[in-house]
Amino acid sequence: MTDTWKPPYPAFSAKVDPTVEQMVMAYLGVQSKDEASNGKACAAFQTIRESLKLPDGPARHDLVQFVDALGCLNLIVVAYWKAPETYAKWNTSSEIAGWWASDDRLNDGVGYFREIFSPRMEQFETIFTHDYGPFEGVSVLFGNMSEPIFEHGYWGSMRDRLPISQNDTIEPSGSLTVVQGQPAAGGRVIISGHQNLTLIRSGEDWRRTEGEERRTWYEEIEPVLHQGMDFLRDDGLEVGCYSNRYCHHIDENGNPEERGFGVSFWNSLAALEHWGESHPTHLQIFVTFMRNVKKFKELTLYHEVSVFDASNQYFEYINCHPKTGLLRAV
């Protein structure tokens, strides 16, 4: 984009703490097989939540739920650490390592999954429609927003916001590999990722909306967003999307909140860009938003995008159905 570019609306990025060099993002989930096992799933989810309070636990976490394509309830903790060393201390403690490795997880009657990523800061970017709180996701760790940025509002701006893109084309290499287990058979399955696998968490907070703005969200924006999320969930492999979850926040008591996000894993940044700029399901979302953008005063939209080194990814699925997360991609 030229130096004279003027974005159509203001946007902001989280100001990263200069002392942070690398983060850890962890999606820790429990999967209920049917309504009869929802109680077991909730109890297991509570155990995971309590484990966050142990020494060296995450600096920030969210509680969300997602109903997948097979109708299974998935309860997920999204946790963030500011340093891999702190996460490693927590993860290798006897309480955490022993609990996940126990054969009891194979016999609990529910599914479990761990999806762990550790981006270096040059592999990470955020964008927000507002520069005030409440912030979302990893931005809560930093607490401050930038001045209005110029790198947004055009195709390719996501790549421009990634510092690594200044000297790296961020092409994928290698492939997803099953390290342990058989995805179709269930049990414990461990998958290794590949170079420059890409994650996007793209969210919305409509708690403060009222009147026409609230009506527009529920009647015009959310329906087309939901269609796009369902497409990626069911048919995303054809466009390079390994997995997509349309998650909604819950509070400490399990009550739904008026905010949510889609989180998806992609073969590459290029595949995510291509879907965004050319696929009808995303263009419908984009066009609908741009048509209504001037109505939005309180609706907060944001995303965080990361690319990862192959060595900084870990995927483990225990007793999950074969369409869970990256299982469906292998």
Say which range, 95-104, 150-159, 315-324, has the weakest mean pLDDT: 150-159
Bridge pairing between strands 241-250 and 197-205: unpaired
Q: What secondary structure letter does DSSP report for 154? A: S
Catalytic residue among 152, 249, 282, 303: 303
Instruction: List CB contacts of 204: < 8 A, sequence separation 6 or more.
Output: 217, 221, 225, 259, 260, 261, 299, 300, 301
Each residue of 114-123: pLDDT tens digit?
A: 999 999 999 9
Q: Answer for the pair 65, 45: CB distance below 8 angstroms, yes or no.
A: no
Q: Which position has the token pair 């009647």?
A: 219
Distance of CA 118 to the CA centre of its chain: 13
- Mean pLDDT across 276-295: 84
Half-sphere exposure of 127 (CA within 13 A, CB side): 19
Each residue of 182-223: pLDDT tens digit?
A: 999 989 999 999 999 999 999 999 999 999 999 999 999 999
Per-residue pLDDT at 208: 92
Active site residue 303: yes
Mean predicted lDDT score pLDDT of the chain: 94
**Alpha carbon of 158 to those of 115, 245, 303: distances in Å?**
23, 21, 10
**Alpha carbon of 131 to those of 60, 65, 138: distances in Å?**
19, 27, 15
Per-residue pLDDT at 16: 87
- Mean pLDDT across 213-237: 94
Would you say residue 261 has pLDDT above 70?
A: yes
Give the chain's end-to-end CA distance (angstroms, integer).
37
Q: Which helix (H) or strand (E) holds 31?
A: strand 24-31
In the chain, where are the structural domains located? Answer: 124-173+195-309
- Quote the strand ranges of 183-299, DSSP E: 186-192, 197-205, 241-250, 256-266
Per-residue pLDDT at 279: 84
Q: What secondary structure letter does DSSP report for 136? A: -
Q: Which amino acid appears at position 261 of this protein?
A: F
Per-residue pLDDT at 134: 67
Domain range 124-173+195-309, CATH architecture: 2-Layer Sandwich (3.30)
Q: Answer for the pair 278, 270: CB distance below 8 angstroms, yes or no.
A: no
Q: Which amino acid appears at position 225 of this protein?
A: L
